[in-house]
Chains A and B, each alone.
Chain A
Amino acid sequence: MSSTALPRQIRGPSAFGGGLRRALYLTWIIGLTEYRLTYFGSALGYLWSLMRPLMLFGVLYVVFSQIVDFGDDIVNYPMLLLFNIVLFNFFADASTKAVTSVVDREAIVRKMHFPGMVIPLARVLSGGLNLAVSLIAVFVFLLAYGVDPRWTWLLLPLLLVPLVLLTLGVAMLLSALYVRFRDVAPIWAVVSTALFYGSPVLYAIDKVPEDYRQVLMLVNPLADILEQGRSWVIDPNADGAIAAAGGGAWILVPIAVGAAVCALGVWVFNREAPRIAERL
């Protein structure tokens, strides 16, 4: 007998084709590379990971705190604003960049056997690295502002996990659809703006009229993540997502919505993956 490996059938492209281990290595190395190149060539380099949310925060703070008295009765409003912006920006940035990601990497998709799902995953990973750096700055500011550190700060990963999963779901869904429908890009630009105002980023959920409050909390998982973050990190007296969603088992609804988006993203991408190379 020869020492040949057993013949294996070439099954064509798929979301994770070529082995899970390779796909994970690829996600890591490509995501890291993209992050390193984000601010490449700029004078401040990685500092922009800190500077960008801070500058945006500065603008919004001046507008909503100094010009229109928006956050007067919200505890630690500037810090809430900063915290929310960093979290929401991760979602918006990663998903927007993911839309065109597969098309942008056309050369790879068309000229080599490549696990397609790695591409949106790497975009989200690169956004996640950016988020991690930004969050360090957020906590430094929280302490400097005089927010008392509490043990609930340690629960933050419990919010980041669903946030990342939701972002991944959206990224996979949009990147796969964009290959077929280029309309996805302008549509998503509008939808993500709507989500910005439809999530308690600039405001706290108790500012929303009672009638809409529960609906918002049920259909938009981002609202729950941000509200729960407010309660754990910024203002211990805030009600938290469960109460705002209607109490008790109602919280399962936004969780289900988030899980459904994620599952839909994986399903759509998986279904499209074998033909992406032909359609580009």
Chain B
Amino acid sequence: MNERATAVGVAGVSKTFRIPRQHLMSFKERAMHPFRRVAVTDLHALKDVSFDIEQGEFFGIAGRNGSGKSTLLKCMAGVYRVDRGAITVAGRLVPFIELGVGFNQEMTALDNVVINGVMMGLSPREAQRRFDAVVEFAELDDFLDLKLKNYSSGMQVRLAFSLMVHADADVLLIDEVLAVGDAAFQQKCFDAFHDLRDRGKTVVLVTHDMQMIERFCQRAMLLHRGAVADIGDPGSVARRYLELNFEEDDEASVTAGRPEDVSHGVAIGDVWIERPDGRRVDSVGQGDPLVIRAEIEALQRIDDPEIGVTINDEAGTVVFGTATRELGREEQPFEPGERISLRLALRNDLKPARYYVDCGVHEGVHRVAAFRYRASDFLVFGNRAQLGLVALDHTFELERRRNRTEAATPS
């Protein structure tokens, strides 16, 4: 019996929203059509969802918009009542699903700490006692006399987060909060989470940011159309999430469906991303060197071969592409059994996002000998805000001339 206790148990939970097709909301309409049933559409937000979260676990819930993850969180928090099934929680739960709910903009930090503390189940006196610790963690000591409306949004998030950490709850539910705040405070948040975990607290993080799931969660679950699509290792959940996304995208656009992988006489093997020193990576910093590698094997003779690689974004736009022929090179024919190792080195001038690598081999100009759609993918990180598809290396200069008559000082 070395198993850890269950902190949150979700068993067979279903939730259906009845959405009226047209709003018959007023008395008059009710009075004029007393027997007319309002037509409703049933929206099955959650379908028989079951899982357990262990005590002290950092658990991620992933899913696309509309997959039911926020509904699930609201059911766990007790904002919605479940239609079927049961949710059990051991210990005290943070009742919010979003930071800063219940803040009053007209009041000072102290008043808000007390109000929020009470919302989290403390007595007013207890909340007041924790004020110093809350403010210190939020790094807001210099701004105590300000009304909340004069705080920047980052400051408000810091205060709200600090409150949550200091409320001594056993289970924390968090919906996409850490997108806000600067990098330093984000790190502090995660340090705080790890600290909470060490003290046996449980953290449930809901997000569609797979990076966050992979970085911080010990276990994750993927919701898809209201049902559990996958549960377990964060890495595999993240991959499943990406797969599901492609499937959805394909369904969404029938004409622009997922291109077929092709292999006629040539097999494209492993395709991966590495750093110049040869270490495989799945994310690359902006401006860093990047190497795309591929292993290709010829199964039969290919005359006039051409190898091409494209880098595409999530939407499928080709951000960059290159091919041997483009470079003015004539490749010798591939002989059966010949293995080709491709090495494409470039500087990563892409803006932060996820990118996919397609790889293809042509025979002559028209015949496709091999093609692999999204053979590999990688993430670009960086913190420079930019517009457009690529982050071109640039300098920015302004030459400013003031109108002298206006700028002249009175003498």
List A residues at the B interface (Cβ < 8 Å): 2, 4-13, 17-19, 21-22, 25-26, 28-30, 33, 37, 40, 107-114, 180-183, 187, 274-275, 277-278
Contacts and interface: CB of A to CB of B under 8 A. Distances in A.
A114 B98 CA distance: 13
A7 B88 contact: yes
B124 A6 contact: no
A8 B90 contact: yes
Contact of A112 (B26, B95, B104): B95
Contact of B106 (A12, A40, A111, A277): A40
B193 to A, nearest CB: 19
Contact of A5 (B28, B78, B123, B170): B170
Interface residues of B, number: 46
B114 interface: yes
A199 B350 CA distance: 74
Given A29-B115, A108-B101, A113-B95, A13 B78 contact: yes
Contacts of A111: 79, 96-98, 101
A85 to B, nearest CB: 29
B81 A7 contact: no
A113 B76 CA distance: 9
Given A111-B98, A113-B95, A12 B78 contact: yes
Contact of B26 (A21, A33, A183): A183
Contact of B124 (A29, A109, A277): A29
B26 A29 contact: no
Given A2-B55, A22-B121, A183 B90 contact: no
A183 B121 contact: no
Contacts of B93: 10, 113
B91 interface: yes
A12 B82 contact: yes
The 7 closest A-B pairs by CB, nearest first: A12-B81, A113-B78, A113-B95, A7-B88, A10-B87, A111-B101, A5-B91
B5 interface: yes
Contact of B4 (A2, A6, A13): A2
Contact of B81 (A13, A30, A40, A107): A13
A6 B76 CA distance: 16
A83 B128 CA distance: 39
A5 B200 CA distance: 12
Contacts of A108: 101-102
Interface string B50-87: 00000100000000000000000011111111100011
Nearest to B106: A37
B140 interface: no
A241 B89 CA distance: 53
Contacts of B76: 10
B17 interface: yes
A143 B306 CA distance: 104
A4 B87 CA distance: 17
Nearest to A180: B25
B342 to A, nearest CB: 51
Nearest to A30: B115
Nearest to B83: A12
A9 B88 contact: yes
B40 to A, nearest CB: 13
Contacts of B5: 2, 4
Contacts of B111: 33
25 contacts: A4-B91, A5-B90, A7-B9, A7-B89, A8-B89, A9-B87, A10-B75, A10-B76, A12-B79, A13-B79, A18-B121, A25-B118, A29-B118, A29-B124, A37-B104, A110-B74, A111-B79, A111-B97, A111-B101, A112-B96, A112-B97, A114-B95, A180-B25, A181-B25, A182-B25
